[in-house]
Chains A and B, each alone.
Chain A
Amino acid sequence: MLFQLVQLAVSIAAVLLLALLAHQLGLGGDVRLRSEAQARDEAAAALGGFDAVEVAVDRAGIGALLRDAQGRVLLLRRHGAQFAARLLDSHSDTRLHQNFLTIGTSDPSFGKITIDLGDRAQVWAASLRRLGA
């Protein structure tokens, strides 16, 4: 039993050391959305064939909102060195403050994101209200 506990402690220490090494080596980098085209590609990959007709990319490139021809709205946000997405089904977790939109989804584990959409923030906030509460 003692041996197994020592083995577990050594394993946990090794895990933490490797994660620290990954951090020290600067792995992960600083991934950003550089363009609307990139946001479209990421959205299409995240939700098979999502064909955006309207795109708003955060000014720092950490997220984006995209709408397709059917009126579906996809939230794209940075997740580590990759991007993850969710379709929005309500506006109840959306808050507007000047140019900043804070958006949550019906999936709490996905978290909230605050994106800077500049002068388009108010237009998008208004349109998200059409999703219902």
Chain B
Amino acid sequence: MPELGPVDYAIPGFLLLIVIEMMWSARRAPEKYEPRDTLTSLGLGVGSTVAGALTGTVVLTMALWLYEHRVVTIGWQWWAWAACFVLDDFNYYVAHRLGHRSRWFWASHVNHHSSQHYNLSTALRQTWTGFFAANFAFRIWPVFIGFHPAMIATCGAINLIYQFWIHTEAIGKLPRWFEAVMNTPSHHRVHHATNPLYLDRNYAGVFIVWDRLLGTFQGELDGVRIRYGIVRQLGSFNLLWAVFHEWIGIARDVWRAPWRAKLHYMFAPPGWSHDGSRDTSDTIRTRWQERQDVVPAE
């Protein structure tokens, strides 16, 4: 039997927690789940593991090659694990922020956001096209300074497992000290919201401090109904459309665009257009802000 990773061991726990949340939802708020949406989310999760298995060897080969040319050898000390985890979480923040601010990376990340629901099954809406978008480049570079590839892979897996439980509306706000440092269900609900104030906020994986330090934090406001999903909702439960719709959109736009705009349609923020006919999250937020009488506060 092949060696299993941390995520493999966590999957039965994921499924059990989804069942528990479904039963909570059935008693308290049946509309929090939608069977077809759940099927799409879980299908995306399974497909993502297949895509990961198919491309993982290539990423591992690249990481091992980089490790052979490392600057120093850091080793397996406890502090190396701690440093690696913090560095990997920062790298996740950077990759995730770019995943929302550049259409190329957004195309591979959008399927995580395209559900209009926010529950534990949403956490499993993982990408099939991350390798194609080259997302791994943001996570493997620390092997070059001397962190072992297995250490980085383990830290990345623990990061992914941590992020599972925060995809829920069943948990309100947690103690202030925890909300101040860690990513929580409250912070991540904001991240998945399409409300103009909440767009492109809270990119953190495990530590919310990155958002607080780098000016992308927004707290969840009491009394504001959160709308989940993407600015232009899919309106479809089709699994393949959920995976590829943004890539198809890029291809169509690049084909039709004037030469000077082609690269922009690939790498500019989602919603950018050469004639200003579409909305980016910045223009949506600016318009919304103009309609408000008061500046919102946390």
Report the Cα distance A77→B46, complex, angstroms: 29
- Given contacts A22-B38, A81-B31, is CB(A15)–CB(B43) below 8 Å? yes
Interface size on B (CB < 8 Å)? 49
Instruction: List the A residue with the shortest CB-CB distance to B53.
Output: A4
* Residue pair A45, B31 in contact (C-beta under 8 Å): no
Q: Within residues 210 to 262 of chain B, which ones have a CB less than 8 A from any CB in chain A?
A: 227, 229, 231, 233-238, 241, 245
* Residue pair B30, A28 in contact (C-beta under 8 Å): yes
Report the Cα distance A89→B166, complex, angstroms: 39
Report the Cα distance A16→B234, complex, angstroms: 22
| Stretch of A53-61, A95-103, A105-113, A119-127 that contacts chain B | A105-113
* Residues of B contacting A48 in the complex (Cβ-Cβ under 8 angstroms): 196, 231, 279, 284, 287-288
Q: Which of A4, A18, A26, A31 contacts B15 (CB 8 A)?
A: A18
Report the Cα distance A118→B25, complex, angstroms: 36
Chain A interface bracket (under 10, 10 to 19, 20 to 34, 35 or more)? 35 or more
Q: Which of A3, A16, A27 contacts B26 (CB 8 A)?
A: A27
- Given contacts A28-B33, A82-B117, is CB(A19)–CB(B15) below 8 Å? no
* Residue pair B227, A45 in contact (C-beta under 8 Å): yes
B163, CB-defined interface residue at 8 Å: no
B50, CB-defined interface residue at 8 Å: yes
* Residues of A contacting B1 in the complex (Cβ-Cβ under 8 angstroms): 3
B23, CB-defined interface residue at 8 Å: yes
* Residue pair B236, A80 in contact (C-beta under 8 Å): no
* Residues of A contacting B241 in the complex (Cβ-Cβ under 8 angstroms): 109
* Residues of A contacting B15 in the complex (Cβ-Cβ under 8 angstroms): 14, 18
B18, CB-defined interface residue at 8 Å: yes
| Interface membership of chain A positions 1-35, coded 1 if the CB is closer than 8 angstroms to chain B and 0 otherwise | 00110001001101110110111011111010000
* Residue pair A27, B35 in contact (C-beta under 8 Å): yes
* Residues of B contacting A129 in the complex (Cβ-Cβ under 8 angstroms): none
Taking the nearest CB of chain B, how far is it from the CB of A21, in angstroms? 6
Query: Can you show 26 pairs from A to B with CB atoms below 8 A apart?
Result: A8-B50, A18-B42, A19-B35, A21-B19, A25-B22, A25-B25, A25-B33, A27-B22, A28-B34, A28-B35, A29-B31, A49-B288, A79-B233, A79-B236, A80-B36, A80-B37, A80-B237, A81-B31, A81-B33, A82-B233, A84-B235, A86-B235, A109-B234, A109-B241, A109-B245, A110-B236
